[in-house]
Amino acid sequence: MKATKIIIKVPLVVSKIIVHLYAKTLFLSRIPMAAIAGILLTLCSSTLAQNIFSETFDGYYNGNQNATQLDTGLLVSYGGLLPLWTASGDGAIHAVNQNGLTNYAVMIFDGNPNPNIVTMSNGIAANDAGEVYQVAFVAGPAAYAHTNEAATTNQILEINVLRGDNSVLYQWQQRLGTWPHALVLNPYSFNYVGDGSGPIRLQMTTATPGDVHFSGAIDNLTVTNLGPGVIFSQFSGVNNALTASDPLFSSNALGWERFPGVEWNVLEPTQGNWQQSTLDAYAAQVDTYTAVGVKVLPMLGYGTSFSGGNGGGYYVSAQAVPLWTNYVTKVVSELRAHGVVYFQVWNEAYPNSSFWSGNNISDYFTNVLKPASQVIRSLGGKVVYGGYPSGATTSTGEYISWLDTNSAWGNIDVLDIHYYDASDMSNVYSAAVSRGYSGLGMWQSECGFDQSRYMLPWLYPKALHWGLGQSGLVTNGFKLMWYADWAPNDKSAYGYECNLYSGNNQWHAATLQPLAHLFTTNTIVRYGNVLNNKSLTATYDLTKSIVSFQSGKKIISVIYLNSSDVGSRPSRYSLQLTYPAITSSGQVASVQRIDMSGYSTTPTVSYNSGELVVTTTPVDSSSSPIKSWNDLDGSAYIFYVVITVN
């Protein structure tokens, strides 16, 4: 909860591949021992819990080694075999031996008339509905023995994720570039969402058949289950919603509600005077949210007139711990019966602050957090930290130090900070991972509370993109909850124009709803295959950035620029986005530039060397409703480029 204006620092069950190598069906004596080792390395599940499949291609055998590779002198072969894979096309399977022993990389040749196609012989269990899978590998331009077959800028390597009926669940394409006179393999990856149609097979081939060059070399292929996919409403929440009928809930812009209706001093105003009817009424409110698919985060707190300290209600003494745990037990028991899982313990405890009257923060951990954690977990719930606040004298480094000093990492299920940017979320979570707590969630149960309508479309996409890249967040997730839902449309009112609604008018809701509409209810994954001419990268602070996603058939790039990046004449700032995986207009249903208000225009579209190029500027259309937003001061430019594919 806000008392003063905050200073903004602007278990997976893994499908294991089990292969029984029966001598009567697989004549091991006919396969070199190196190939057998390759089989075992390929099929054994990784020690990482989410890993499903690994392939090093070191099981390559029976190849015709007839030359050395152009420029490198490495041994190259054609016509070889790989356990677990079948192949067709001119000279398949081609391979390069990277160390003269058994370290092979497969090379794909754009044969004429028969291009190379290398496909898994059997399916793997990597297609549960709604689960996100990552295919990772290293790849680079390839060559055999002669210059006229070496890769140029024209070739496109293609990897298909095939269903059992050979239809394509997902397709990845990439131009790897001209042969650099050396074998250079760089890391690549893509994510796909399972549809539940059964096991999948991977297929490596070319999207440029018949040009008689090598499309690329590939090695060290893995398939990893990243866990259940994320939809926007699972990531986005709000504080103190007025009603469960808020259209932001029904439009999937919000999926979480946080409000402090179970405060201890309300439920037990004097010691032993328990107000069960008040708790029952709160539980009934929870049911109204549950009925529309919204989850509730209750906040457990604060103290009472009899919980110790100076009587101010923001402290729990050691002597009052049994009274505190009695309150926690009653509330959690009731709300667990209504489907609530996560419980937040206190709010913004900080020495001698509005929400903690003690001068020793260790008392919060000893008397409040740890006893409550024990109760919550014993009743099957999960523990959310009480929101470390951002302010002029606070830092996430201090928060990490507190958790260390008080040995508290193991007492929580969700790390929680308030009013920080996505880079701070990254810092705190990285500290958890380094201490062996990668399964903790990373939330901001309060964020925003700022009049600038740049705030939400700046923070949300960056935090979403960051979180999607952290596989350990599968269990407890990553979330942002805007503070707060509503304030009067009155300049003298607390929170004026800092909330989603200002009176009957949309304020930050006017940027939240268009952003959520881009993703609808589709699972969201990162999309990494967008290039640009302005050296924009994914950053999670206030610096310029581009973050890209795939959601259903949409590829969504969010561009954030400061005025200093654009210069004094923004209309002359020409941004070009290149999509190497989109190689023809037939793949594209539409291309849009969408501003923060949701107003759509059509940018310039072209194809350069067979790759889609979208050209636009930071300047929003003069016809857009955004032109009436008088609060925008020109300090930033935020917009979306959306490619809808067929």
pLDDT digits (tens, 9 = 90+) for 434-443: 999 999 999 9
Residue 31 has pLDDT above 90, yes or no: no
List C-alpha distances in Å: 50 to 123, 166, 192, 227.
17, 25, 15, 8
C-beta separation of 143 from 69 below 8 A: yes
Distance CA 70, CA 151 (A): 11
In the prediction, which pLDDT does 32 show?
A: 40
List C-alpha distances in Å: 563 to 455, 535, 543, 577.
15, 16, 11, 19
Strands 486-487 and 501-502: parallel
Residue 33 has pLDDT above 70, yes or no: no
Domain ranges of the chain: 31-228, 527-645
Q: Please compute the mean of the pLDDT values over residues 357-372 and round it to a whole number.
A: 95
In the prediction, which pLDDT does 226 show?
A: 85
Percent of the chain with pLDDT over 90: 81
Distance CA 504, CA 510 (A): 12
In the prediction, which pLDDT does 607 show?
A: 94
In the prediction, which pLDDT does 144 show?
A: 98
Mean pLDDT of the chain: 90
Nearest partner of 632 among 501, 518, 536, 497, judged by Cα: 497
Distance CA 539, CA 91 (A): 44
* Size of the chain, expressed as the number of residues it contains: 646
Degrees, nearest 5: CA angle 114-120-123 = 140
Distance CA 580, CA 124 (A): 28
Residue 575 has pLDDT above 60, yes or no: yes
Nearest partner of 482 among 428, 511, 444, judged by Cα: 444
What is the fold of 527-645? Immunoglobulin-like (2.60.40)
DSSP 178: S
Q: At what angle do helices 370-378 and 321-336 cross, to 10 degrees?
A: 30
Residue 27 has pLDDT above 50, yes or no: no
Residues 384-416 as b/e (b if ≥16 CB within 10 A, e otherwise) read bbbbbbbbeebebeebbebbeebebbebbbbbb
Model confidence over 288-333: pLDDT tens digits? Answer: 999 999 999 999 999 999 999 765 689 999 999 999 999 999 999 9
In the prediction, which pLDDT does 580 show?
A: 84
In the prediction, which pLDDT does 450 show?
A: 95
- Residue 276 CA neighbour count, 13 Å, CB half: 4
- Name the β-bridge partners of 447: 482
Distance CA 141, CA 99 (A): 18
Residue 156 has pLDDT above 80, yes or no: yes
Same CATH fold, 527-645 and 31-228? no
Nearest partner of 409 among 380, 438, 379, 388, judged by Cα: 438
Type of residue at 515 = L
Residue 245 has pLDDT above 60, yes or no: yes
For domain 31-228, which CATH number applies: 3.40.1010.20, 1.10.3720.10, 2.60.120.260, 3.30.930.10?
2.60.120.260
C-beta separation of 56 from 42 below 8 A: yes
Provide the pLDDT confidence category of residue 470 given band limits of 50, 70 and 90.
confident
In the prediction, which pLDDT does 312 show?
A: 66
Q: Please compute the mean of the pLDDT values over residues 447-453 and round it to a whole number.
A: 96
Query: Which segments within 429-495 are labelled E, that is strand?
Result: 441-448, 478-483, 486-487
pTM equals 0.83
Token representation of residue 632: 């925008």
Distance CA 174, CA 156 (A): 5
Q: Please compute the mean of the pLDDT values over residues 365-379 and round it to a whole number.
A: 98
C-beta separation of 60 from 35 below 8 A: yes
Distance CA 239, CA 242 (A): 9
Between these two residues, 264 and 44, which has the higher pLDDT value? Answer: 264
In the prediction, which pLDDT does 81 show?
A: 98
The answer for 502, left when phi > 0, alpha when psi is -120 to 50, beta otherwise, is: beta
In the prediction, which pLDDT does 174 show?
A: 86
